[in-house]
Amino acid sequence: MIFRQKGEPVFARREVRIINKLGLHARPAAQFVKRVTGFRSEIWLVTADGRYSASSLIDVLRANLDCGATATLEAHGVDAEEAVERLQKLFGELHKFDEP
């Protein structure tokens, strides 16, 4: 167990898989970015092709995450662990944005 001082920056990482049949297209990407901006940590999407700012809609779309793709969420900051946990869960719900 690691003990940290309250408010001390933390680094956290989680792998996510895109299950949305249309991939991470504009509507779910916008919802993802909206959630990311609610955290104080700096958050990135990392793929085999590069590292993309999760707080930038353009960067998230540039990550080109199709259905079945995997990426790593990385966060650094005071709420990094909470951020990657909540955002990983959100990736499991993004497919709902394609339902009528």
- Look at residue 65 and give its three-state secondary structure: coil
Burial class (CB in 10 A: 0-12, 13-18, 19+), 38: exposed
Catalytic residue among 9, 13, 14, 25: 25
Could you give the dihedral angle defined by the CA atoms of residues 82, 46, 58 and 83, in that order, rounded to the nearest 10 degrees?
0
* Residue 25: active-site member: yes
Catalytic center residues? 25
